[in-house]
């Protein structure tokens, strides 16, 4: 056996369908159909793919589709001649695991940014994004973030790492690339003659970076109160509250809440209440 090498036949973008070719250069002293076999992680494989390179050497080839992904693959070419066995091996390396902390952010009305963190040695990352209708695409990068230019939709995003082989699985996130939906519910409680607390929840998974809360009274001479509350779209809580103080006793109030991001704001949710008369 003179040499052994591997070649990526299909793109890493094919993930679980990625194909590799192993080439083993051997002398013509052996019969390539009888005297050659392969070991792939210890399992015997046979191949009838060979090419006569010249009067002295053959190129014996084996196509492999690693299964499962994420496991390093050792491939040995074994030749038998006159009762002796000769071998050379090559290894396709897998990463230690997928990236972590995958997050997607809306940049403007036609692009989103996806970033992540990764430990260990990688040659790059494969980013798969798909929509509810099942359409899917994969792009590659060597950076720790990527900007995707996409139409507005809901996207499911999975990021894989790769060395020679892709990671066995990826880390996912989801982003609703659109103006936020209205908040799901809100209530007024702890109402007194001068205070009231507003609590709302947002469980619709919209991409939200701020809320606009406005409070108006039934007396037009009293100026409305408007507050903007900035939030991290990836914070773990979906429950928010705010307390209004220095209200007027026995007054009727209307409170509205809108969710917003760089693309715009949702429709308002409205609630009416009255402070206690003293």
Q: Final residue of a domain: which of 125, 154, 176? A: 176
Task: Give the residue from 63, 92, 121 where a domain finishes.
Answer: 92
Are 120 and 195 members of one domain?
Answer: no
pLDDT tens string 156-203 = 999 999 999 888 889 999 999 999 999 888 899 999 999 999 999 887
Three-state SS for 17? Answer: helix
Tens digit of each residue's pLDDT (9 = 90 or more) over 192-227: 999 999 999 887 788 999 999 999 999 989 999 999
On average, the pLDDT of the chain sits at 90
Answer yes or no: are the C-beta atoms of 180 and 231 closer than 8 Å.
Answer: no
Tally of domains in the chain = 3
Structural domain harbouring 259: 185-274
Residue 257 in tokens: 């809440």
Q: CA separation (Å) from 265 to 146, 180, 182, 202, 210?
A: 26, 6, 9, 14, 9
Residues 83 and 122 in one domain: no
Same domain, 118 and 71: no
Residue 67 pLDDT = 66
CB 276 within 8 A of CB 196: no
- The CATH number that applies at residue 248 is 2.60.40.10
- Going across the sheet that includes 100-108, the strands are 100-108, 111-117, 145-149
Shared domain check, 216 and 136:
no
Instruction: Report pTM.
Output: 0.83
What percent of the chain is modeled with pLDDT above 90? Answer: 64
Considering only residues 48 and 213, tell me which one the structure prediction assigns the higher pLDDT. 213
More confident residue, 162 or 30: 162
Which of the listed residues 176, 204, 226 is the one where a domain comes to its end? 176
Res 69: pLDDT: 59
Q: DSSP readout, 209-248? A: SEEEEEEEES-TTSPPEEEEEE--TT-S--EEEEEE-SPP
């Amino acid at each position: 056996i003179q040499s052994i090498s591997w070649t990526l036949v299909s793109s890493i973008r094919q993930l679980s369908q990625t194909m590799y070719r192993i080439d083993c250069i051997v002398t013509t002293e052996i019969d390539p159909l009888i005297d050659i076999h392969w070991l792939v992680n210890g399992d015997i494989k046979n191949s009838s793919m060979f090419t006569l390179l010249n009067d002295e050497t053959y190129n014996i080839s084996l196509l492999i589709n690693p299964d499962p992904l994420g496991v390093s693959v050792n491939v040995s070419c074994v030749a038998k001649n006159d009762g002796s066995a000769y071998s050379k091996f090559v290894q396709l390396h897998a990463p230690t695991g997928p990236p972590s902390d995958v997050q997607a952010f809306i940049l403007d009305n036609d692009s989103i940014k996806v970033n992540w963190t990764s430990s260990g040695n990688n040659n790059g990352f494969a980013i798969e994004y798909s929509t509810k209708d099942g359409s899917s695409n994969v792009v590659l990068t060597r950076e720790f973030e990527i900007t995707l230019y996409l139409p507005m939709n809901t996207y499911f995003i999975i990021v894989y790492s790769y060395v020679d082989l892709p990671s066995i699985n990826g880390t996912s996130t989801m982003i609703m690339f659109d103006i936020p939906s209205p908040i799901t519910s809100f209530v007024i409680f702890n109402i007194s003659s001068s205070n009231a607390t507003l609590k709302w929840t947002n469980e619709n998974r919209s991409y939200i970076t701020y809320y606009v809360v406005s409070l108006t009274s039934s007396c037009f001479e009293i100026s409305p109160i408007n507050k903007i509350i900035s939030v991290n779209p990836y914070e773990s809580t979906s429950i928010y509250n705010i307390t209004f103080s220095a209200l007027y006793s026995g007054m009727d109030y209307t409170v509205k809440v809108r969710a917003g991001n760089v693309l715009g704001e949702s429709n308002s949710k409205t609630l009416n209440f009255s402070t206690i008369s003293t």
